[in-house]
Amino acid sequence: MTEQQAPNVIYLADYQPPTHWIDETHLDVDIKPNATRVTARLKIRPNEARGEQTLVLDGENLDTRRVCWNDRALAPADYTIEGSQLILTGISEPGWLTTEVVIDPENNTALEGLYRSRTMYCTQCEAEGFRKITWYLDRPDVMSVFTTRIEADKTTCPVLLSNGNLVEAGEVGSGRHFAAWHDPHKKPSYLFALVAGELACVRDAYTTASGRKVAIEVFVEPKDLDKCDHAIDSLKRAMRWDETVYGREYDLDIYMIVAVDDFNMGAMENKGLNIFNTSCVLANPKTTTDVGFQRVEAVVAHEYFHNWSGNRVTCRDWFQLSLKEGFTVYRDAQFSADMNSATVKRIEDVNLLRTAQFKEDAGPLAHPVRPPSFIEISNFYTLTVYEKGAEVVRMLATLLGPEDFRRATDLYFERHDGQAVTCDDFVQAMEDVSGRDFTQFKLWYSQAGTPEVAVAAHYDENAQQYRLRFSQSCPPTPEADTKAPFHIPVRIALLGDAGQLPLQLKGHTPDDLPADNTEMMLELTEAEQEFTFTGVKEAPVPSLLRGFSAPVNLRYEYTEAELVRLLTGDTDLFNRWSASQELAVSAVKGALQTFDAEHDFAGAITPGDAWVAALAANLEHPELDPAVMAYMLQLPSVSYLHDRLPQADILALHKIREALVAALGRALAVPLSAKLKAYDISQPYAVNAEAVAQRSLSNTALLMLARAGDAEALAQAVRRYQGANNMTDQLAALKAIVAAHPEPVVQAHLNAFYAQWADEALVVNQWLTLQASRDVPQALDDVQALTEHACFSWTNPNKVRALVAGFASQNPGQFHRADGRGYHWLADVIIRLNQANPQLASRLVTPLAQWRKFGERGALMREALARINGQPLSKDVYEVVAKALA
Ligand code: TRP
Ligand code: ZN
């Protein structure tokens, strides 16, 4: 940021209610290439509580043609336009403000506001994109009733959509037509949407619990009509689930979804007119993996659930973003858990949290779930606000129990329906229903950083007492050096030889305890706390933080034997997986010592016999969910290993991990081969939990055995690639081939795959990522060459993410090349995208921001960051780079 001055910082502490309200918003959008005219008629009313006569509207890149107050055109002297503000004075009475502006969607590459994507015009207004469409009070606490008239060319834009219900449509001559939409629900501007273009539609319907019929319409490019069914089924399941679990019904007669190829995020919950990234809505067995199917189901549900948690009850200001995102992620996670395997969903979420969110919380971009300040709000759609925010809601649900939690959400929705509220209002409902004081709990919203909970155990055989001592602390983060203790729910059980032991807490009578008293929730509120259990007849193995009951780093010095007991015998399946990860971490730690001593580690790696035996026993267990088993076999990511073993060099960790995968594949060859053979690739494809689980385990076995050099698996990979009847198997086989076959075979298969799928953009994205994540010396050259490939485009975020983030985040061996070329290439990409698409560019900075954790290599990362910092930067990139360098 050399040429501009540092941008403004916005503080939560400065919040003031708006000076004026906008009761009605009438938009007239006249779409013409490079000159779309937007006329806005706003019914303005001063906010008595503020008593302010000056009205300041937000606007960006607007070519203003006309400003009228009560239909009287204002002379330029009667208003001022200063940068991104339109200032009117003397607005002390209600009245109508009319503005007319011209905008250029064709040249909007930031994909915010109104822009063009392939065959359509579409909008993205969250968080502050509406101001790129017209002058407005573009803040979520200003809620208005919207009526939108769209006019456009009939042949290029046969479909014209906006929020709410269609009220009028017709011809206007000269080959043009119009449609008028009215949304009866008040909403903030960030939920506004408009779509115009050439789109095909799949129609369906849903009948709500109270018997109202809702039309469902999914709009896609004609070539994608065969990929809509799964989204529609998912939507109906989500609607039913929200009725059953939260007692909430849909509130309009129509629910529309539009699929857009150029989109900065996953999807957007615009009222009655969701807009989706194609990657989060289109699904077909031929082109979509099981993971893709589950993602579509989850994102469709997420956006639907926002209709209550976000739209009906919205955020007062953007600092409260987690009010809607944390709660909605919690809701979609519970939904996915109910639709599929609950344990698998929990493992996936915790994996993401522990690898990526904990990293964010420990680095220079750490911020509380409710940030106290920001420069650019788009930078705060983070893992912390979304995933940690969901964990915070989950802890409240755990502390209240299911009945009280439901009563509390009922109270919250009823109390605040139609309002823009804060995280405090949400917690208040929890307090009012339960009678509990959550003052301390709310530190989860204001303190950043991942708490560390160290546990020490002592068994007194004579007294038959078992004592657990918990110490919690939290590392410093940019907003605070010292932290007050958190309120942490810790679910535990004690495993004895024959199963879980009954729990009797010293100082409590048996009446205090639940009927099934072999599991308990302990509440930590102090820096140091001790719990003593009486009547403990044997030295137990503690099963701690069951189901990951709080987003903390738990530290307990388990022996290998104890971890193996948990891995094979814990009734909490999540903790069995967690034990497998712990065993992997200690195996890597052991190998690291050999590495230091001999500089030759690959040959020396042997996974511990007890660990191998435990995994083998699990593999042969008839009742263990194969999908959970697949996760038990997968080693933690290099990124997670680096967090756990921070002194180690990242490339050493990567090499050890690779060697360990192969070694495990060899040690488990017999049971893994059995799993491989047990799966018949010609069986008809179905996406249900059981079939998905089978494929997951079989394909995990395939990859491990191929990496172990197993001849039968290598042959099976080629057969599976050729015989696959679905993308899950085909792509898994391709990955195994790419990982383990000689280069000519790899190239032949990569070429064949592209030839087969060149017309399917979402499949091509997978192909790009697969090449970007190859651990071969030429990977970066390949990636650079792929940016010139016919399929690649710098203006499509999915393509950029597939290739660039695929390389920077999924290829530790090559991104961290000793010569620093990986870092500098990423910096070049960020500089290139900085002005064109600031949101996309800013997200790509993440891998470099961790430079302090990388020892000598970190200096090269820092250099790359400094080079970015030497450019004139967008607010988005400026904020993250400045924080990373600070
Ligand atoms: N609210 C969207 C969600 O449910 C997030 C989102 C979509 C978004 N598009 C965006 C956020 C663009 C910022 C900018 O997750
Ligand atoms: Zn959301």
* Domain boundary pick from 307, 334, 355: 307
pLDDT at site 513: 64
CA-based R_g, the chain, Å = 28
Ligand found nearest the CA of 322:
2
* Domain boundary pick from 446, 469, 504: 446
Does the residue 143 lie in any domain?
A: no
Q: Does the C-beta of 408 come closer than 6 Å to ligand 1?
A: no
Those residues with Cβ within 8 angstroms of residue 827's Cβ, 6 or more apart along the chain or in another chain: 848, 864, 865, 867, 868
Q: What is the pTM of this model?
A: 0.98
**Residue 613, exposed/middle/buried by CB under 10 A (0-12, 13-18, 19+)?**
middle
How many angstroms separate the most distant Cα atoms in the chain?
95
SS3 readout for 596-663? HHHCCCCCCCCCCHHHHHHHHHHHHCCCCCHHHHHHHHCCCCHHHHHHHCCCCCHHHHHHHHHHHHHH
Sign of CA pseudo-dihedral 70, 75, 76, 78:
negative
pLDDT at site 2: 43
Q: Does the C-beta of 276 come closer than 6 Å to ligand 1?
A: no
- How many C-beta neighbours within 10 Å does residue 597 have? 10
Ligand found nearest the CA of 331:
2
Distance CA 676, CA 679 (A): 6
Residue 216's identity, in one-letter code, is I
**268 plus 361 within the same structural domain:** no
**295 plus 441 within the same structural domain:** no
Distance from Cα 268 to the centre of ligand 1, integer Å: 5
Distance from Cα 265 to the centre of ligand 2, integer Å: 10
Specify the residue for token string 């000269």. Answer: 174
User: Residue 199, CB half-sphere, CA atoms under 13 Å: how many?
Assistant: 25
Q: Which of 302, 299, 272 is nearest to 283 (CA)?
A: 299
Find residue 529's DSSP bridge partners.
Answer: 470
Q: Does the C-beta of 190 come closer than 6 Å to ligand 1?
A: no
Q: Does the C-beta of 322 come closer than 6 Å to ligand 1?
A: no
Ligand found nearest the CA of 318:
1
Does the residue 748 lie in any domain?
A: yes
Distance CA 726, CA 681 (A): 9
The torsion angles phi and psi of 546, rounded to 5 degrees, stand at: -60, 140
Contact present, 549 and 491 (Cβ < 8 Å) = yes
Q: Does the C-beta of 269 come closer than 6 Å to ligand 1?
A: yes
Atom of ligand 1 nearest to the CA of 839: 14
Q: Which of 507, 369, 354 is nearest to 426 (CA)?
A: 369
Residue 292's identity, in one-letter code, is G
**651 plus 698 within the same structural domain:** yes
Q: In order along the chain (886 residues), what is the average pLDDT of each group of 10 residues?
A: 73 98 99 98 98 98 98 93 97 98 98 98 98 99 99 98 98 98 98 99 98 98 98 99 98 98 98 98 98 98 99 99 99 98 97 98 98 98 99 98 98 98 99 98 98 98 98 97 98 96 87 77 98 97 98 98 97 97 95 71 79 98 96 98 95 94 97 95 92 97 98 98 98 98 98 98 98 98 98 98 98 97 98 98 98 96 98 98 98
Find residue 508's DSSP bridge partners.
Answer: none
CA–CA distances in Å: residue 660 to residues 562, 667, 864: 21, 10, 32
Whether cis (ω within 30° of 0) applies to the bond prior to 864 is no
Q: Which of 352, 880, 413, 409 is nearest to 640 (CA)?
A: 352
Distance from Cα 127 to the centre of ligand 1, integer Å: 7
Mutate to test the pocket of ligand 1, among 114, 131, 264 (most ligand atoms within 8 A of CB): 264
Contact present, 176 and 152 (Cβ < 8 Å) = yes
Distance CA 342, CA 337 (A): 4
Distance CA 613, CA 617 (A): 6
Phi-psi region of 599 (alpha: psi -120 to 50; beta: other; left: phi over 0): left
pLDDT at site 606: 85
**257 plus 370 within the same structural domain:** no
Distance from Cα 514 to the centre of ligand 1, integer Å: 42
Atom of ligand 1 nearest to the CA of 328: 4
Distance from Cα 265 to the centre of ligand 1, integer Å: 6
CATH number, residue 323: 1.10.390.10
Ligand found nearest the CA of 126:
1
**407 plus 479 within the same structural domain:** no
CATH number, residue 303: 3.30.2010.30
Distance from Cα 373 to the centre of ligand 1, integer Å: 19
Domains contained in the chain, number: 4
pLDDT at site 593: 85
**Which residue lies with its CA nearest to atom 11 of ligand 1?**
126
Find residue 86's DSSP bridge partners.
Answer: 57, 81
Q: Does the C-beta of 376 come closer than 6 Å to ligand 1?
A: no
pLDDT at site 318: 99
Does the residue 845 lie in any domain?
A: yes
Does the residue 526 lie in any domain?
A: yes
Does the residue 707 lie in any domain?
A: yes
Does the residue 104 lie in any domain?
A: no
Distance from Cα 219 to the centre of ligand 1, integer Å: 19
Tokens of 687: 């996406």
Per DSSP bridges, beta strands 465-473 and 452-460 are antiparallel
- The residues that are catalytic are 303
Those residues with Cβ within 8 angstroms of residue 195's Cβ, 6 or more apart along the chain or in another chain: 120, 121, 122, 123, 159, 160, 161, 162, 219, 258, 273, 275
CATH number, residue 539: 2.60.40.1840
* Domain boundary pick from 273, 307, 341: 307
Find residue 711's DSSP bridge partners.
Answer: none
**Which residue lies with its CA nearest to atom 7 of ligand 1?**
268
Distance from Cα 126 to the centre of ligand 1, integer Å: 6
Q: Does the C-beta of 299 come closer than 6 Å to ligand 1?
A: no
Domain that holds residue 331: 317-446
Distance from Cα 300 to the centre of ligand 2, integer Å: 10
Q: Does the C-beta of 311 come closer than 6 Å to ligand 1?
A: no
**Which residue lies with its CA nearest to atom 4 of ligand 1?**
268
Q: Does the C-beta of 29 come closer than 6 Å to ligand 1?
A: no
Distance from Cα 875 to the centre of ligand 1, integer Å: 18
**466 plus 406 within the same structural domain:** no
Mutate to test the pocket of ligand 1, among 117, 123, 124, 324 (most ligand atoms within 8 A of CB): 124
Distance CA 330, CA 400 (A): 15
Mutate to test the pocket of ligand 1, among 376, 381, 386, 801 (most ligand atoms within 8 A of CB): 381
**602 plus 512 within the same structural domain:** no
Does the residue 733 lie in any domain?
A: yes
Those residues with Cβ within 8 angstroms of residue 363's Cβ, 6 or more apart along the chain or in another chain: 849, 850, 852, 853
The torsion angles phi and psi of 497, rounded to 5 degrees, stand at: -60, -35
Ligand found nearest the CA of 876:
1
Per DSSP bridges, beta strands 420-421 and 499-500 are unpaired
**277 plus 347 within the same structural domain:** no
Does the residue 331 lie in any domain?
A: yes
Q: Does the C-beta of 381 come closer than 6 Å to ligand 1?
A: yes
**Residue 626, exposed/middle/buried by CB under 10 A (0-12, 13-18, 19+)?**
buried
Which stretch of DSSP H or E encloses residue 324? helix 321-339
**Which residue lies with its CA nearest to atom 1 of ligand 1?**
268
Q: Does the C-beta of 126 come closer than 6 Å to ligand 1?
A: yes
CATH number, residue 748: 1.25.50.10
**792 plus 740 within the same structural domain:** yes
Three-state DSSP state, 495? strand
Per DSSP bridges, beta strands 499-500 and 20-30 are unpaired
Specify the residue for token string 């206007």. Answer: 172
**357 plus 271 within the same structural domain:** no
Which stretch of DSSP H or E encloses residue 44? strand 36-46
Q: Does the C-beta of 379 come closer than 6 Å to ligand 1?
A: no
**Which residue lies with its CA nearest to atom 3 of ligand 1?**
268
Residue 9 carries which DSSP code?
P
Q: Does the C-beta of 123 come closer than 6 Å to ligand 1?
A: no
Residues surrounding ion ligand 2 at CB below 5 Å? 325, 328
Distance CA 670, CA 615 (A): 12
Distance CA 737, CA 731 (A): 10
Contact present, 128 and 138 (Cβ < 8 Å) = yes
Distance CA 584, CA 604 (A): 15
Specify the residue for token string 């009560």. Answer: 70
Contact present, 878 and 375 (Cβ < 8 Å) = yes
The torsion angles phi and psi of 480, rounded to 5 degrees, stand at: -165, 140
3-state helix, strand, coil in the chain (%, to 5): 45, 20, 35
Q: Does the C-beta of 387 come closer than 6 Å to ligand 1?
A: no
- How many C-beta neighbours within 10 Å does residue 127 have? 20
Distance CA 712, CA 714 (A): 5
* Sheet strands (E) in 104-242: 113-117, 120-124, 143-153, 159-162, 165-173, 176-188, 194-197, 200-207, 213-220
Contact present, 307 and 243 (Cβ < 8 Å) = no
**469 plus 499 within the same structural domain:** yes
**575 plus 637 within the same structural domain:** yes
Atom of ligand 1 nearest to the CA of 377: 13
Tokens of 800: 């950029």
Q: Does the C-beta of 19 come closer than 6 Å to ligand 1?
A: no
Contact present, 10 and 61 (Cβ < 8 Å) = no
